[in-house]
Amino acid sequence: MTKLSNNKFILNFTPTGMIPTKEMTPNVPVQPEEIIQQVSEAAELGVNMVHLHARSPETGEPTYKKGLSALS
């Protein structure tokens, strides 16, 4: 285990996940506004890294489509 100097740390927040859908849990953010809100709240708590998975703007389902724009 590597010790970080000066008490620095990485706190990674993954709000969208790769599997959850609104049908599974109404709390998973899938729309840009929801994701922005949750990331902002987490940043206030000390999160310093965010990992997101792309979502289809039509269905909210996870997607691997290259070049997909959430604002389309």
Q: Computed over its alpha carbons, how large is the radius of gyration of the chain?
A: 15
Beta strand ranges found along the chain (DSSP E): 12-13, 49-50
Q: Which residue has the tokens 């990992």?
A: 51
pTM given for the model: 0.73
- Please, are residues 62 and 53 in contact by the beta-carbon 8 Å criterion? yes
Q: Distance (Å, rounded) from C-alpha 56 to C-alpha 6?
A: 41
Domain ranges of the chain: 32-72
Q: How far is CA 52 from the centre of its chain?
A: 4
Per-residue pLDDT tens digits for 11-68: 999 999 888 888 899 999 988 899 999 999 999 999 999 998 888 877 888 888 777 6
